[in-house]
A and B are shown apart, each in its own frame.
Chain A
Amino acid sequence: DAGVIQSPRHEVTEMGQEVTLRCKPISGHNSLFWYRQTMMRGLELLIYFNNNVPIDDSGMPEDRFSAKMPNASFSTLKIQPSEPRDSAVYFCASTGFDTEAFFGQGTRLTVV
């Protein structure tokens, strides 16, 4: 398996624009997570899906953030409208039944 695949790797956008980050989990994994990493706050959990259903979205910072998982092989994290303080690296991770987490390479988002 190619591991967790995220796209794009880098995104630069202007404040107010919509941003969509994409993730393909490892085939057969039933849980998917979106994390955000900043220097100040480290890695923070944004949302957790199990069997494509959002279970815990308490980490989503504002209504500007939304996430979907329409099927077992694809998830999106959308920010609309984006703001400079959203600049961070966004990671997607997936786990199977043995609960070992595997991370993608991340999307570095810069909002100017």
Chain B
Amino acid sequence: KQEVTQIPAALSVPEGENLVLNCSFTDSAIYNLQWFRQDPGKGLTSLLLIQSSQREQTSGRLNASLDKSSGRSTLYIAASQPGDSATYLCAAPNQAGTALIFGKGTTLSVSS
């Protein structure tokens, strides 16, 4: 059974810092992994989708890496801004490959 864990649960940083959010998953036979952002009271916004054949994906100041062998993914945010404050969720497919299993998320607060 796929389980997804995110560490830390919460993170506070000053504006301008580079930071890394961690995600681990138990079933490494995944075909992709997806990172989402959720603002308070809002839905989930897809940030990055990494296919199993890829090692990383980049979008602007965001870079996500995937290491299937170790069951880990990281989301790197460069030069953080107050607008980056949100909850970041990692999701990996279940064993059947039919749906996404989510971590509990990391709530990021960037202070100006």
Interface residues of A (CB under 8 A from B): 33, 35, 42-43, 45, 48, 50, 55-56, 91, 93, 98-106, 108
Chain B positions 26 through 43: 1 when the CB is less than 8 Å from some CB of chain A, otherwise 0: 000001101010000111
Nearest neighbor of B44 in chain A, beta-carbon distance: A103
Task: Given A48-B98, A56-B96, A56-B98, check contact A102 B46 (CB 8 Å).
Answer: yes
Most chain B beta-carbon contacts within 10 A, residue among A45, A55, A101: A101
Residues of chain A lying within 8 A (CB to CB) of residue B43: 91, 103-106
Residue of B with least CB distance to A45 = B99
The residue from A48, A102, A103 contacting B99, defined by CB atoms under 8 A apart: A48
Q: Which chain A residue lies CB-closest to B42? A: A105
Q: Is the Cβ of B104 less than 8 Å from the Cβ of A99?
A: no
B interface, CB within 8 angstroms of A: 31-32, 34, 36, 41-46, 49, 89, 91, 94, 96, 98-105
Starting from the known contacts A101-B46, A101-B100, A103-B46, 16 additional A-B residue pairs (CB-CB under 8 Å) come to A33-B99, A35-B102, A42-B103, A43-B89, A45-B99, A48-B98, A48-B99, A50-B98, A56-B96, A91-B44, A93-B44, A99-B31, A99-B32, A100-B34, A101-B34, A104-B43
B33–chain A nearest beta-carbon distance, Å: 11
* B48: nearest chain-A partner, CB-CB: A100
Q: Report the Cα distance A55→B41, complex, angstroms.
A: 29
**B105-A42 in contact (CB<8A):** yes
User: How near does chain A come to B40, taking the closest CB pair, in angstroms?
Assistant: 11
Bound state CA distance, A66 and B34, in angstroms? Answer: 28
Determine whether the beta carbon of A100 is less than 8 Å from that of B42. no
**CB–CB B99/A100 < 8 A:** no
